[in-house]
């Protein structure tokens, strides 16, 4: 454990200076030791990836009772995406640019284990974590028995362990169980981008674009860090679930949760959305790029045509301010589409004129 703490201290130092100085090298370093791009699976070729996708037979969910998630109509507008005051320069948070978004529907909540179970039951979908046989979990959350069976670790982030048999229903491996542990109302995790796309298709929805996600996160506020403003704890209360205490050795759960929280906890934003910041990272449909043009107004941007990684947004219960200050609307990170981890989930969106008939919805 000594070496774990040592590397943790090195990472903390690097990331702290990234936060204060927005230094490019440091930001780049922080990515490798912090916000989980280290958990990418080995790179596959594009051909392999297409095979995986083509093999999936999508079945659109038509059962009234199957989609319990509520959606809210987000009225389109022009907003400022990104920031000219980036904290992680290498992440492409900058430059700020104007973006026009058409009205769309957004899930109020992250997709829960309860809903993901319905999808799996209906489609017999096998997640990529199950296909590969493992998924990444932070060591603090594992039983001694599970830890003792693991021989590999991630070089730059030794607390990430590949746990055999970890998947959405058994998030910390075979000796855990979301039903037995009372976590059916927690977000589904260990869901790859490909799995998330399959779920949204089944639900008659789609993943949000990064631009839609960030617009929804900002909830009508210009140039603010969080959905509710710039103060992390309004009225000294926690409004989102991140890592409090010291990373990685001490999680004091000051916000009420050391790991995931039920999807309905914490205040909703002015747009009526919950846990956009914190709890679990959320996949978007965009391929990753750090190049953005600030000179034009982008119309419903969908990101690059191709790439190797997909964009995820919002940060998670594992993000600490000194270490991975990415629980901001402008912040972003990435993983390959087949990657999965215990702090990565998703929610779905839908076009305004394509709302599935079985979804409960309300307009702003
Ligand atoms: Ca927490
Ligand atoms: Ca979230």
Q: How many Å apart are CA 207 and CA 111, to the nearest integer? A: 11
Q: What pLDDT, on the 0 to 100 scale, is given for residue 56?
A: 42
User: What confidence tens digit (pLDDT) does each residue in 297-327 have?
Assistant: 999 999 999 999 999 999 999 999 998 999 9
Of 43-57, 153-167, 303-317, the one with minimum mean pLDDT is 43-57
Q: What pLDDT, on the 0 to 100 scale, is given for residue 59?
A: 52
Q: What pLDDT, on the 0 to 100 scale, is given for residue 9?
A: 30
* CA of residue 201 to ligand 2 center, whole Å: 20
Q: And the tokens for 309?
A: 């990684």
For tokens 């710039």, name the residue.
230
Q: What pLDDT, on the 0 to 100 scale, is given for residue 36?
A: 61
Chain CA centroid to CA 329, Å:
12
* CA of residue 164 to ligand 1 center, whole Å: 25
User: What confidence tens digit (pLDDT) does each residue in 74-106 have?
Assistant: 999 999 999 999 999 999 999 999 999 999 999
* CA of residue 261 to ligand 1 center, whole Å: 8
* CA of residue 84 to ligand 1 center, whole Å: 28
* CA of residue 119 to ligand 2 center, whole Å: 20
Arithmetic mean of pLDDT, 258-264:
97
Arithmetic mean of pLDDT, 46-63:
46
Q: What is the pTM of this model?
A: 0.87
Q: 185: exposed, middle or buried (C-beta count within 10 Å: 0-12, 13-18, 19+)?
A: middle
Arithmetic mean of pLDDT, 321-342:
96
Q: What pLDDT, on the 0 to 100 scale, is given for residue 180?
A: 98
Q: And the tokens for 114?
A: 């309860």
Q: And the tokens for 273?
A: 């959305």
| Ligand located closest to 257 CA | 1
| Ligand located closest to 317 CA | 1
The pLDDT of residue 118 is above 50: yes
| Ligand located closest to 319 CA | 1
**Band of pLDDT at residue 361, cut at 50, 70 and 90:** confident
Do you know the residue count of the chain?
364
User: What confidence tens digit (pLDDT) does each residue in 209-233 have?
Assistant: 999 999 999 999 999 999 999 999 9
* CA of residue 52 to ligand 2 center, whole Å: 27
User: What confidence tens digit (pLDDT) does each residue in 176-185 have?
Assistant: 999 999 999 9
* CA of residue 314 to ligand 2 center, whole Å: 5
Q: What pLDDT, on the 0 to 100 scale, is given for residue 66?
A: 44
Task: Centre a 10 Å sphere on the Cβ of residue 88 and count the other Cβ atoms it contains.
Answer: 29
Q: How many Å apart are CA 331 and CA 92, to the nearest integer? A: 8
User: What confidence tens digit (pLDDT) does each residue in 1-35 have?
Assistant: 333 333 333 333 333 333 232 333 333 334 433 45
Q: How many Å apart are CA 361 and CA 94, to the nearest integer? A: 34
Percent of the chain at pLDDT exceeding 90: 74
115-140: burial string, b at 16+ Cβ within 10 Å, e else:
bbbbbbeebebebbbbebebbbbbbe
| Ligand located closest to 275 CA | 2
- Write down the mean pLDDT value for the chain: 86
Q: How many Å apart are CA 167 and CA 133, to the nearest integer? A: 8
Percent of the chain at pLDDT exceeding 70: 82
User: What confidence tens digit (pLDDT) does each residue in 196-213 have?
Assistant: 999 999 999 999 999 999
């Amino acid at each position: 454990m000594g070496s774990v703490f040592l590397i943790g201290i090195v990472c903390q130092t690097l990331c702290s200076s990234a936060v204060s100085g927005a230094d490019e090298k440091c930001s780049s370093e922080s990515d490798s030791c912090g916000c989980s791009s280290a958990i990418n699976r080995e790179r596959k070729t594009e051909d392999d990836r297409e095979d995986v996708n083509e093999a999936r037979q999508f079945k659109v969910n038509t059962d009234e009772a199957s989609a319990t998630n509520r959606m809210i109509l987000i009225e389109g507008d022009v907003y400022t995406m990104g920031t000219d005051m980036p904290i992680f320069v290498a992440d492409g948070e900058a430059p700020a640019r104007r973006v026009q978004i058409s009205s769309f529907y957004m899930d109020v909540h992250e997709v829960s284990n309860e809903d993901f179970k319905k999808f799996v039951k209906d489609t017999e979908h096998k997640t990529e974590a199950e296909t590969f046989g493992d998924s990444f979990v932070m060591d603090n959350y594992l039983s001694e028995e599970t830890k003792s069976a693991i021989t590999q670790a991630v070089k730059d982030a030794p607390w990430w362990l590949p746990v055999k048999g970890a998947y959405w229903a058994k998030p910390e491996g075979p000796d855990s169980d979301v039903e037995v542990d009372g976590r059916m109302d927690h977000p589904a995790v260990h869901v790859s981008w490909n799995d998330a796309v399959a779920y949204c298709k089944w639900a008659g929805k789609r993943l949000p674009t990064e631009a839609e996600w960030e617009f929804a996160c900002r909830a009508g506020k210009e140039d603010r860090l969080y959905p509710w403003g710039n103060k992390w704890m309004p009225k000294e209360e926690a409004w989102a679930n991140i890592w409090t205490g010291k990373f990685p050795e001490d999680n004091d759960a000051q916000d009420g949760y050391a790991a995931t929280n039920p999807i309905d906890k914490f205040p909703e934003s002015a747009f009526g959305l919950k846990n956009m910041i914190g709890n679990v990272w959320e996949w978007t449909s965009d391929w990753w790029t750090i190049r953005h043009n600030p000179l034009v107004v982008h119309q419903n941007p969908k990101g690059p045509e191709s790439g190797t990684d997909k964009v995820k947004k919002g940060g998670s219960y594992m993000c600490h301010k000194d270490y991975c200050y990415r629980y901001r609307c402008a912040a972003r990170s990435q993983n390959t589409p087949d990657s999965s981890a215990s702090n990565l989930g998703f929610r779905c969106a839908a076009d305004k004129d394509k709302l599935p008939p079985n979804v409960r919805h309300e307009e702003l």
